[in-house]
Amino acid sequence: MTTVHTTMDTPVGELTLVAGDGALTAIYFRSHKGLPDASTFGERSDADFAEAKRQLTEYFAGERTGFDLPLNPKGDTFQLKVWELLRKIPYGQTRTYGELARELGDPRLAQAVGSANGRNPISIVVPCHRVVGADGSLVGYAGGIERKRFLLELEEPAEATAARLF
């Protein structure tokens, strides 16, 4: 597999996008917890990421609520199942680790879901930021809690934002 990467500036800071064989394999924040060594990102190739950059730009502008990109995250079978569930969480909504564990058929898997969520390599596009603690608190985000808060507020419905103001 030929791996390439690019970077882009966003409202949450610089992102590094990594792809292999035409599919996105990772999106990392500069201060990402567990950031792999940059030597694994391959050569820089801005041309290979035009569509991903366009869709991310639209997302940050509030013009896009979902992504249509070829993805190839690397993980074990359980992680891949969790990451697929993350992609099904609608824009502007959240789920708890326990809710995702129940969707997988075993409420005792909440911690394992949290672990898999924390290892999601394709931040934002695979929306791990939409997973919150059982009490709705913002917990655990590889990009940091402030970025998680920003992304959730970006996705917040206009009515909810207006209700907070009054």
Active site residues: 128
Beta bridge partners of 23: 20
CA nearest 142: which of 128, 125, 132, 156?
A: 128
CA-angle at 76, arms to 54 and 28, nearest 5°: 35
CA nearest 57: which of 119, 122, 125, 5?
A: 125
